[in-house]
């Protein structure tokens, strides 16, 4: 998830694909970071739900 000037993203895209196969342009500066934070929050919520389910399964 990348944010910034689109022309600069186009110039750096080849290098970024060496670091990861899914490179997504999100818009202006900061939007890539905001998208990453939202993604991390959703993953954390999913992990909490899984942990709670495991905890209930162990107890009962």
Give the largest Cα separation in the chain, rounded.
57
CA 20 to CA 22: how far, in whole Å? 6
36 is catalytic: yes
Closest to 16 in 3D by CA, of 25, 5, 28: 25
Annotated active-site residue in 36, 47, 49, 53:
36
Residues recognised as catalytic? 36
């Amino acid at each position: 998830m990348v944010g910034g000037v689109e022309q600069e993203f186009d110039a750096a895209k080849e290098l970024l694909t060496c670091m990861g196969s899914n490179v997504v342009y999100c818009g202006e500066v900061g939007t890539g970071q905001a998208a990453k934070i939202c993604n991390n929050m959703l993953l954390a919520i999913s992990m909490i739900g899984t942990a709670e389910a495991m905890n209930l399964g162990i107890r009962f």
